[in-house]
Amino acid sequence: MQAFGAPVMSARIRSVPEDFRVEELDGFEASGDGEHLLLTIEKRGMNTGFVAGEIARWAGVPEVAVGYAGLKDRHAVTVQRFSVQLPGREPPPLETLERDGLRVLAQARHKRKLPRGALAGNRFVLVLRGVEGDREAIEERLRQIAARGVPNAFGEQRFGHGGGNIAKALAMFAGKRVGREQRSMLLSAARSALFNQVLAARVADGSWDRGLDGEVWALEGSRSVFGPEPMGEEIAARLARFDIHPSGPLWGRGSLRSEGACQALELAAIADPTALKLREGLERAGLEQERRALRLRPQDLAWRWPDDDVLELAFALPAGCYATSVLDQLGRIEDAAARPLAAGEGGPVPA
């Protein structure tokens, strides 16, 4: 989904977990009292579910008493908040929770369990190694990204290993029984795949960041949309300052909100047989039509060259957006953590 032309570089990422650093940007301040303990934790080589289980065992509570706002990869160094319900009692000593790869950075009391999605966004510091490409061309591409943003695609992790979640979603829609949590994951994967197909069509015709006739506009930093509304001076000005963005469908029951050329493109992009099955399945599942911004602007994008073939990127993204959307516009970035370990290269990692 190249929005700026041919790739300008190749590199690899996550050669070590420290090459992929993510810090959650909190969506609220702790209330200071209540039966939930908020823990800000730095973890390395552990995924979010594993840490949630460790917190539950440490506190002597069922895992359902532990909350977190977002899932974070194990092949990274991440900082995120967890909540644990401790009604009427103090927590065990924090040092009994800490271990190699897990540190508690802060604690605070709060009145409610930390719900999914309760974060403002994520701040990334990414180290790309083995960079091949012309430095001037790479930096020009980064300036383009800073100025225009990038297509707001769902990342490949949404679709499971080898994209297998789509086949599983089709099987579920055909009648295969799945658990409630897996059902939610597969519905999200199906919706995301359809959105990405529409976004790819908008990138192909160059309208992902400028709008079409019949466009529905998404407000920056919000799930709210308005329109259809035609392009005029005010809309153009708001689009230029990233106050609004063109949007695409998150499929469900009901009619598309878009009209005219915009609706025609959306329907044509998801008219293939697999897409039609996904659409029908999502409608039968009871999801309603929603919209998502097609454009994403990384905040505070900065870069430096620690070595001739090493590029460090730093930027922040809103919740629900993917760092791969930025990396994909640079070129071919190999994920070193996705390859199998060679004999003797490493031991098991908690999952």
Residues labelled catalytic: 73
Sequence-distant (≥ 6) Cβ neighbours of residue 159 within 8 angstroms: 165, 166, 189, 192, 193
Rounded Cα distance, 226 and 234, in Å:
14
Q: Please state, as a whole number, how many other Cβ atoms lie within 10 Å of the Cβ of residue 31.
A: 13
Please answer whether residues 282 and 190 qualify as being in contact, where contact means their C-beta atoms are separated by less than 8 angstroms: yes
| Rounded distance between C-alpha atoms, residue 296 and residue 189, angstroms | 20
Q: Nearest 5°: CA angle at 243, between 234 and 293?
A: 115
